[in-house]
Structure 1
Amino acid sequence: MFDALIRFIRDEYRTDAPIPLHAPQFPGREREYLLETIESTFVSSVGAFVDRFEHDMAAYTGAPRAVATVNGTAALHVALMLAGVRAGDLVVTQPLTFVATCNAIAYCGAEPVFVDVDRHTMGLSPAALQTWLEEHAALDDAGSCRLRRDGRAVRACLPMHTFGHPADLDGLVEVCARWRLPLVEDAAESLGSLYHGRHTGTFGQLGTLSFNGNKIITTGGGGMVLADEALGTRAKYLTTTAKRPHPYEFIHDEVGYNYRLPNLNAALGCAQLEQLDGFVAAKRALAERYAALLAGSGLQFVREPAGCRSNYWLNAVICDGHAERDALLAATNERGVMTRPIWQLMNRLPAYAHCLHGDLSVAQWLEARVVNLPSSVPAGAA
Structure 2
Amino acid sequence: MIPLAVPHLAGNEARYLRECVDTNFVSSVGPFVDRLETLVAECSGAAHAVATSSGTAGLHAALLAAGVSPGELVVVPAFTFIATANAVSHCGAVPWLLDITETDWTLDPEQLAGVFERETRRDGGSLVHVASGRRVAAVLPVHTLGAPADMDPILELARAQRVPVVADAAAALGSLYRGRPPGALGADLSVFSFNGNKTVTAGGGGAVVGADAALCDRVRHLTTTGRSGTDYTHDVVAFNSRMTNLQAAVGCAQLEQLDVLVAAKRRIARRYDEALADAPGVRLFPRAPWARSACWMSGVRVGGVPELVARLGERGVGARSFWKPIHLQPPYREAPRAPLPVSEAVWAEVLTLPCSAGLVSEDQETVIEAVRGCLAR
Same topology, TM > 0.5: yes
Specify the code of the residue in structure 1 equivalent to 2:122: L
Distance 2:360 2:297 in 1: 19
Specify the code of the residue in structure 1 equivalent to 2:161: W
Aligned counterpart, 1:374: 354
8 Å CA contact retained: 2:43, 2:173: no
Say whether 1:307 aligns with 2:274. no
Q: Which of 23, 42, 45 matches 1:40?
A: 23
Q: Which of 127, 131, 154 matches 2:136?
A: 154
Per-residue CA distance 1:133-152 (angstroms, 9 max, x = gap): 22211112x23110112421
TM-score, with normalisation over the residues of structure 2? Answer: 0.92
Distance 2:32 2:245 in 1: 6
Q: Which of 114, 124, 148 matches 1:166?
A: 148
8 Å CA contact retained: 2:272, 2:299: no
Aligned counterpart, 2:215: 231
8 Å CA contact retained: 2:148, 2:176: yes
User: Once the 2 structures are TM-superposed, how far is the Cα of residue 206 of structure 1 from its aligned partner?
Assistant: 0.7
8 Å CA contact retained: 1:165, 1:310: yes
User: Once the 2 structures are TM-superposed, how far is the Cα of residue 250 of structure 1 from its aligned partner?
Assistant: 1.6
* Aligned-partner SS, 1:258: coil
Say whether 1:79 aligns with 2:59. no
Say whether 1:196 aligns with 2:178. yes
Q: Which of 58, 64, 67 matches 2:47?
A: 64
Aligned counterpart, 1:241: 225
Aligned residues: 358
TM-score, with normalisation over the residues of structure 1? Answer: 0.91
Assess, with a 3 A threshold, how the Cα gap between structure 1 residues 379 and 150 changes in structure 2: closer, same or farther: closer
Assess, with a 3 A threshold, how the Cα gap between structure 1 residues 150 and 313 changes in structure 2: closer, same or farther: closer
* Aligned-partner SS, 1:177: helix
Specify the code of the residue in structure 1 equivalent to 2:145: F
Distance 1:358 1:111 in 2: 14
8 Å CA contact retained: 1:193, 1:200: yes
Say whether 1:187 aligns with 2:175. no
Distance 2:115 2:235 in 1: 40
* Aligned-partner SS, 2:271: helix
User: Once the 2 structures are TM-superposed, how far is the Cα of residue 380 of structure 1 from its aligned partner?
Assistant: 7.1
Aligned counterpart, 1:9: none
Aligned counterpart, 1:296: 278
Specify the code of the residue in structure 1 equivalent to 2:357: V
Higher mean displacement: 292-301 or 23-32: 292-301
* Residues 209-228 of structure 1: pairs in structure 2 closer than 5 A: 209-227=192-210, 228=212
Aligned counterpart, 1:108: 91
Aligned counterpart, 2:373: none
Specify the code of the residue in structure 2 equivalent to 1:59: E
Higher mean displacement: 32-41 or 302-311: 302-311
Say whether 1:335 aligns with 2:315. yes
8 Å CA contact retained: 1:186, 1:201: no
8 Å CA contact retained: 2:269, 2:299: no
Specify the code of the residue in structure 1 equivalent to 2:14: R
* Aligned-partner SS, 1:204: coil
User: Once the 2 structures are TM-superposed, how far is the Cα of residue 256 of structure 1 from its aligned partner?
Assistant: 1.9
* Aligned-partner SS, 2:138: strand
* Residues 233-272 of structure 1: pairs in structure 2 closer than 5 A: 233-246=217-230, 249-272=231-254
User: Once the 2 structures are TM-superposed, how far is the Cα of residue 368 of structure 1 from its aligned partner?
Assistant: 2.6
User: Once the 2 structures are TM-superposed, how far is the Cα of residue 166 of structure 1 from its aligned partner?
Assistant: 1.2
Per-residue CA distance 1:239-290 (angstroms, 9 max, x = gap): 11111232xx222122221011011100111001000100011111111111
8 Å CA contact retained: 1:123, 1:161: yes
Aligned counterpart, 2:305: 325
User: Once the 2 structures are TM-superposed, how far is the Cα of residue 303 of structure 1 from its aligned partner?
Assistant: 4.0
User: Once the 2 structures are TM-superposed, how far is the Cα of residue 225 of structure 1 from its aligned partner?
Assistant: 0.6
8 Å CA contact retained: 1:158, 1:186: yes
Specify the code of the residue in structure 1 equivalent to 2:350: V
Assess, with a 3 A threshold, how the Cα gap between structure 1 residues 379 and 340 changes in structure 2: closer, same or farther: closer
Distance 2:164 2:136 in 1: 10
Distance 1:113 1:281 in 2: 35
User: Once the 2 structures are TM-superposed, how far is the Cα of residue 317 of structure 1 from its aligned partner?
Assistant: 1.0
Specify the code of the residue in structure 2 equivalent to 1:84: G
Per-residue CA distance 1:332-361 (angstroms, 9 max, x = gap): 122221112221111111111111001100
Distance 2:359 2:267 in 1: 13
Specify the code of the residue in structure 1 equivalent to 2:316: G
**5+ long unaligned stretches in structure 1:** 1-17
Distance 2:359 2:118 in 1: 51
Say whether 1:126 aligns with 2:106. no
Distance 1:143 1:283 in 2: 44
Specify the code of the residue in structure 1 equivalent to 2:149: A
Specify the code of the residue in structure 2 equivalent to 1:359: P
8 Å CA contact retained: 1:69, 1:222: yes
Q: Percent identity?
A: 44
Distance 1:112 1:29 in 2: 40
Distance 1:335 1:97 in 2: 29
* Aligned-partner SS, 1:31: helix
